[in-house]
Amino acid sequence: MKKLILASSSPRRKDLMSRFNIDIEVSSSNIEEKIRENEIPEQIVMSLAFQKAQDVADRYNNNEIILAADTIVYKDKVLGKPDNEEEAMDMLMSLNGKEHLVLTGICLIQVGTLKKVVSYSKTRVKFRNLSQEKLKRYLSTGEYKDKAGSYGIQGYGSILVDWIEGSYSNIVGLPISKVDYLLEKYFDFPLL
């Protein structure tokens, strides 16, 4: 029986994967996430997902399947996790009333084999045009902390979003449909 290792400390990714009746273990990566200048968003997320997967794969030796992911918000540049409320407000203002992209890189590695798959998912998101007061009320919830782009669509942040085009679970941090497709096609390991 193959075992799936989730190479992530994200509670959102763990929650998404725990919905399926599979044997899963969580093992966080210790890589330092570095983004090179002029790198395109798709390259960024795939590179970071691969680095995370490889870091965790090095700890195992029994044909486990390692699943790693990296999610970014992109609007003219990468919008990472804010350091403080002021930075979060700047990010939200840059997204306010506009479209942006949420990209998640996915890497699957089967330990002890040469099987490695790297891919990505992209979702277009349109924010409502909201007042600064409404954005301040959102920030007062504290939900923006530890969130790329300073919002979480699965919580209070859902009121910020006008529409999405693409995978909802990708915005949360793991495009489940794509993960299932890749696991089944390349590793004979469907989630259902």
The token pair at 151 is 């919002």
Which H helix or E strand runs over 102? strand 99-110
**pLDDT number for residue 9:** 87
- Phi, psi of 73, deg, nearest 5: -105, 135
> Is there a contact between 68 and 7 (Cβ–Cβ < 8 Å)?
yes
What's the rounded Cα separation, in Å, for the pair 57 and 49?
12
The residues pairing with 69 across neighbouring beta strands, listed in sequence order, are: 106
**List of domains in the chain:** 4-187 (3.90.950.10)
**pLDDT number for residue 1:** 67
- Which residues are identified as catalytic? 70
What's the rounded Cα separation, in Å, for the pair 81 and 138?
16
Would you call 153 exposed, middle or buried from its count of C-beta atoms within 10 A (0-12, 13-18, 19+)? buried
DSSP letter assigned to residue 160 = G
Each residue of 16-37: pLDDT tens digit?
Answer: 999 998 889 999 998 888 887 7
Tell me: pLDDT of 78 over 80.
yes
Give pTM, 2 decimals: 0.93
Neighbours of 34 (CB within 10 A): 10
